[in-house]
A and B are shown apart, each in its own frame.
Chain A
Amino acid sequence: AQSVTQPDIHITVSEGASLELRCNYSYGATPYLFWYVQSPGQGLQLLLKYFSGDTLVQGIKGFEAEFKRSQSSFNLRKPSVHWSDAAEYFCAVGGDFGNEKLTFGTGTRLTIIP
């Protein structure tokens, strides 16, 4: 069965500092990987996704993520965070691209301090 682990429940960083959110997945075949962001009481917004090809993917809002098959990881990074980045971040894995369901990690809550 597929699964996603986000080891960090809560991360606090200073505005302007760099950020890395960790994500490890378990999937028997080639995974399709996603990072979503959720503001309080809101739906999910797609930050970026990996299907194939270049293992470093660029997303919206200055985020990027790197797929490392050997480590089963898909960590999210941003070189300089902004106060507006404070939110909940979810990593998700799917497969057999099409109608297959997504499995989400437990999420990482990001707090930005001035």
Chain B
Amino acid sequence: GAVVSQHPSWVICKSGTSVKIECRSLDFQATTMFWYRQFPKQSLMLMATSNEGSKATYEQGVEKDKFLINHASLTLSTLTVTSAHPEDSSFYICSVPPYGQGVTYGYTFGSGTRLTVV
């Protein structure tokens, strides 16, 4: 399946600053990527669907202006947490769907980014 690289693995930032998280599909051209958020000891909640060359599709309740998604190429999607606050502290994970890879592959996930806002 696809190989997905996510950076950084962890980041600590001050309240009010912005943080950018990168998700790269290393061996697969991904027209779509998904961004999930996971609170401690909870499940993954889809935040948005990143679409190459067009606007992201956000899930209900997710602030578009706070979580900026850019999918400028077929191998890179970025999530920018703007004006971060402590409540934005979470584990963020990106995912590449298997579309085009054939039914033998499942969705591939990045290793995640632990964001701590202080």
Contact mask for chain B residues 26-49; partner A; CB cutoff 8 A; 1 contact, 0 none: 000001101000000111111001
A34–B106 CB distance below 8 A: yes
Main secondary structure of the interface of A (DSSP, over half): loop
A105 to B43, CA, bound (A): 7
Chain B CB within 10 Å — which of A41, A44, A45, A100 has the most? A44
Contacts of B41 in A (CB 8 A): 109
B109–A44 CB distance below 8 A: yes
Contacts of A42 in B (CB 8 A): 111-112
A46–B106 CB distance below 8 A: yes
Spot the interface stretch: A17-25, A66-74, A91-99: A91-99
Contacts of A102 in B (CB 8 A): 34, 46, 95, 107
A34–B114 CB distance below 8 A: no
A46 to B1, CA, bound (A): 10
Whether A90 contacts B43 in the complex (CB less than 8 A), given A43-B6, A101-B34, A102-B95, comes out as yes
Contacts of B34 in A (CB 8 A): 101-102
A41–B112 CB distance below 8 A: yes
B12 to chain A, nearest CB (A): 14
B binding-site residues for A, Cβ under 8 Å:
1, 6, 31-32, 34, 41-46, 49, 91, 93, 95, 97-99, 103, 106-112, 114
Mind listing 15 A-B residue pairs with CB under 8 Å?
A34-B107, A41-B114, A44-B109, A46-B108, A90-B44, A97-B99, A98-B97, A98-B99, A99-B31, A99-B49, A101-B46, A101-B49, A104-B44, A106-B42, A106-B43
